[in-house]
Every structure is written in C-alpha cells, then in structure tokens.
Chains A and B, each alone.
Chain A
C-alpha cells in the first residue's frame, strides 16, 4: 500500500498527523498549562521527584486453586522481590457463591483463589504480616464481605486497622458497564460501596476502599478515550454518593484510587494517564471544592492489556507486555502488574509470572526511564495527544452528566453500547487486515508449546470438604443471629460494615451472607445491548 493512501491512527482509531510541531500547541501557554510534576493539575505526575523518590509498587495479580496453594505463591513472589500482593478470586467468590453451590460446579479455583469463609482468608494470608505488606483485592460485588474477612484476619494477627494499607477494587459501576460480575442491582450496590467508603474514612485511614477501574472497560473493547471518560465519570458517581451520605470531600477523596489499562498504543496510553490526572484534579477542585492536595492527586495502578495477549506465538507476549509496562511507567503509574506470557491460555505458571516480574525490574533498574519524571513532557506530539484526549473525555463526561449520572446512563445501556460498537469496529479492522496482530493475522508460524498451570477438580473437592467441616464445627445459632442482624441493617439505612464483620467473625460463609443480602436487595439481570 502506498503511504499516501494509508490511514495512520492510534489503536483506538484516533487519526495521527504526519508531523507535530509548535503550531499544534499554538495558544497553549506551556508554562501555565504544564507546571512541573507535583503541581496542580499534575499532568506531569503527582510527585516532583517521581520514581527518584520511590519506585512504583510491583504488584502481580495472583490467585488460583485453593487458598493453601495461593498462599504458597504469595510467599514465593514476596521472596522474589515483589513489593505488594494482589488477590485474584475465583468466579464463585466474585459472584457470592460458596464452593459447594451448584452454580460453582467446574469453576472452583479456576480463575483465582476460592474463598468461601474467614477460614479460607486466614489460610490465604498465613505467614504474611498484614501490617507490613500492602494488599489489593480484586473483589467487586461482594467487596464489603471479603474486606470484612480481611479486617478480621488483621485483627487476629494483632494488627491495628489504622496500619493496614492496600486497595479494594470494589468498583461496581464498571461491572455493569464491562466485566459483568454483578450480584445486586446498581442502587443497593452503590449503597454497599458507600458503606465501605464511609467505614474506611473512619477506621482504615491508610486503606483505599475503592479502585475506580478502567481496566475492564478497555478489556471489553473500549477505546482509550472511553476507558478514561467512563472511569472518571464512575469516580464522580462515587463521590456524589459519599457526599450524599454526609461525608466531606477531603475526608474520603484522598483515598480514592484508580486502575487503568496499559494497552499497546504507546503514546496514546501515556497521553491517557496524563489527561486522567489533569481532568481529575480539575473535577475535584472545581466541581467539589476539594482543598486537600491529596484529594486532587489521581493515583493509579496499571495492568498491561490482557486482551492484547495472543494464543499464537505466546513468547511475543513478553515483548508486548514490556512495551505496555514502559508506557505505564512513562505515564507515571504508582503501581503496576505485568501480564505473563501464558495468560491467553491459563492462569500464569510460576516460571511465566517470574519473567513478568523481571520485566518490571529491568524497567526499574536497567532502562533509565526512572531517572527523571515525565520524560516525554513537552513533546509536541504527546502534549497535543494529551489535550485531545482530555477534550474527548470531557465531552463524554458531559453527555453522561446530561443523562443524570452514571447509574441512569448504565440503565439506559449507554456505555455498554458505545463499548460494543468500538469493540466490533476493532475486530473488523483485525479481520480485514487493516490492523496487524503479529503472529495472528500476519507473520504466522507454527505452534510453540508452553508449559501451563493446570487446575483440576481436586481444588473444588478440597474446598467443599473444608466447608462441610466448618458448617459442622461452628456455632450455627450465632451464625443465624448475625445474618438476621445483617439483614435488618440492609433493610434499613445503617452502615452494613459492622454487621458484616460480626457475621464473618461467626464464620458465616460468603454465600450465606450474600444470600441474606440477595433477600433484601434482589439480584440484577441485565438487558443485553449487542
């Protein structure tokens, strides 16, 4: 194809000019619009010294099979120099079902660790001092329940809750929008999220009760701008609900954290992170009157794009992941997960996850990109792309404001439909060969066998046996009492966290607790938007 006919666009379809220069930034006062890192609106980063002061946290998302096996993986990762933990739960846990529920058949331990009770959570963190290691938990719909289990484990380790540091993903809105692991309808779910934000503001000053996540929106096939806009608008929604609850903005906003995808289009991603910080700082100050500097600073975790990993020629995934991780670092991430080369097939093997961690360590200690903050700041291209990304995201945010907020927008299917259209458009571009995926639609070659982690039904059997023993051993009348008290709290307006903690301490299971809540809140059924 002749150059003149070719379309040059980002992976999201944004046209790119042949060259960028000063004329692209005409009218932009760089000194005013682009103050140094650490200064409002933090486009160049939230810290003046950035990674010179402190590297990002290397946090590999991990969990599989039984809590016993996942605990061994955690101890291994910490021994390899990983600096924080990130728990992956299996699908039954994410959906609020115990391992012995009929719908859990075939799913126990397959996509993450199986946790049905406080007993499992105690095993998961055996030998891991929760006062010293920061822990992130990807647990959305039943987040309040799993967080209660975590708090009780800390309590039993003798760790003061005020010392606990970590993050609860707990972003239910993006579940309706993208990942679809929801249990209850949006409004009661928002109430549970607000309960955790309120409880956290009072009892766990160093813990992030929510990580507002664009990652899954992007994985569902959105563009970079959609990922950014929907995520920030979700953030606005959580803020509105917390204010409605009676919290003051600077009481909870410093603990809101974000989670973005690190996709393949290098500069588009960097522009996305820079625009995210800028928009959020303005939203916090202008829309909410936040005064604390910590409320204004958008902190984010990044994970390389799972959807970019290919089944064909899996070793290419190491290279993709390294480039994506570098984009996240140049974009100023506070913590990072790098995917393993085998994740188009299965949960990562120990060999593959070690290589993924080494990728971060090479970036951090060998590449030199950590020597100065925002090294691409001032690039004509990156600055223009940042401004354009910001404008496009603000436009989406305004449209959702006009719909009355994210809950009504979700109920109308707006973000879902926008993402489905973008996802289909991209797939058609791959199909037509307009977009190249190395090893898939160009440069194909034969298979490369890799060793995979296999999870069979022994995990499910083990978990079911433990649950049966637990149900026989615990004080079942106490379980009943705590569940009844929880149900009454859910029917009223009080914060459910204290009741959840009581139920967890009595070893009520996740499934029993979620069933009590289903009884009050109902279960959500989505209207499909193709």
Chain B
C-alpha cells in the first residue's frame, strides 16, 4: 500500500439498536476527510462485521453503540479479529460508553472510545494518526 492510498474504514452498527444518526454522520465526515468508508447498515453481528472488515480490507473498524450493549459486543469483535489474524485492524468505538467501561475496553484492545460530544475533527485526526500502514498518509 502506498502512502497516498486513502485509509479504508468500516463503520458498523452492531446490536439491535437502530439509532443511526451518529454512524451516518461519522461515515460522511470520514468520507469528506478523504477516507474510503464502507457503512454496514444496521443490526450487524460481530461475525458479520469482522467478515466485512476482511472482505473490504479495512484498516479501521468504527463501532457505533448507544444501547449499553458494548460490553457484550466489543470483546467479541476483538476476539474474532485475533482469531482471523486481523489484530492489526484498529477498532474504535463511538457512543454512550461510561468512563470505566471505556477504560476496560481500551485495556482489551480498543484503540479509542469517543463519547458524546466528541468532535468530528478529533475522530478524523485520531484515525489519520493511528491507522496502521497509512500513518504516513498525512
């Protein structure tokens, strides 16, 4: 992959919740920032998300979770990534995640947790600075 390649990001909405305002805004903002964004749509299981990440060869998975189900869903995604030898894919989580849960998720391997009120700019910057082989892109 050359340095000029755009960063590929999978924006995913796991769980039963359908509130996709945040996921859609993030998908658009990342696209406007020059990234290639694949949005999975709603109600994706961890298996579906990791398969999509593999098929689409993404550097980053962004999970949007507002329902409080993050402690059930995120560790499963991380585990599947390890099983498929995809541990280099960065997982970031956005949504309603209390501080202590956010710390616990980071200890398990999540690269960042963005809570309500996080700026789009901060999210874009984080991905640019941390997205694996594309680190030199900007």
Contacts and interface: CB of A to CB of B under 8 A. Distances in A.
Highest count of chain A CB atoms <10 Å: which of B15, B16, B96, B98: B16
A105 B73 CA distance: 9
Interface in A472-530: 525-526, 528, 530
A180 B69 contact: no
Nearest to B28: A424
A330 to B, nearest CB: 27
Interface string A83-100: 000000001101101000
Contacts of B39: 528, 530
A345 B117 CA distance: 12
B19 interface: yes
Given A424-B25, A526-B41, A91 B67 contact: yes
B119 interface: yes
Interface in B1-52: 15-21, 24-25, 27-29, 39, 41-43, 45
23 contacts: A97-B16, A106-B71, A107-B67, A107-B68, A107-B72, A110-B67, A111-B68, A179-B19, A180-B18, A180-B20, A182-B18, A219-B21, A220-B19, A344-B96, A345-B96, A346-B96, A423-B21, A424-B24, A427-B29, A431-B120, A441-B119, A452-B98, A525-B41
Contacts of A346: 68, 96, 98
Nearest to B120: A431
Given A111-B67, A175-B18, A179-B19, A106 B25 contact: no
A175 B69 CA distance: 21
A414 B116 CA distance: 28
B115 interface: yes
B121 interface: yes
Given A180-B18, A346-B68, A423-B21, 5 more contacts: A106-B15, A179-B19, A180-B19, A180-B20, A530-B27
A107 B16 contact: yes
A497 B19 CA distance: 29
A242 B77 CA distance: 45
A380 interface: no
Contacts of B29: 424, 427
A68 interface: no
A220 B17 CA distance: 13
Nearest to A216: B19
A311 B24 contact: no
A91 B24 contact: no
Interface string A192-210: 0000000000000000000
A310 interface: yes
Highest count of chain B CB atoms <10 Å: which of A91, A310, A312: A91
A420 interface: yes
A366 B24 CA distance: 42
A440 interface: yes
Interface size class of B (residues with CB under 8 A): 20 to 34
A237 interface: no
Contacts of A307: 21
B36 to A, nearest CB: 13
B16 A310 contact: no
Contacts of A221: 21, 25
A313 B25 CA distance: 23
A179 B28 CA distance: 19
B71 to A, nearest CB: 7
A455 interface: yes
A526 B42 contact: yes
Interface in B99-138: 115-117, 119-121
Contacts of A175: 18
A119 interface: no
A179 B69 CA distance: 18
Contacts of B116: 310-311, 344
A362 interface: no
A529 B3 CA distance: 30
A181 interface: yes
Given A107-B15, A107-B16, A220-B21, A455 B68 contact: yes
Closest 9 CB pairs of A and B: A106-B72, A180-B18, A311-B116, A106-B69, A91-B16, A110-B68, A440-B117, A528-B41, A181-B18
A310 B96 CA distance: 11
B8 to A, nearest CB: 16
Contact of A311 (B68, B72, B115): B115
Nearest to A421: B28
Interface string B59-103: 000000001110111000000000000000000000010100000
A103 interface: yes
Contacts of A437: 117
Contacts of A97: 16
A530 B28 contact: yes
Interface string A430-467: 01000001001100000000001001000000000000
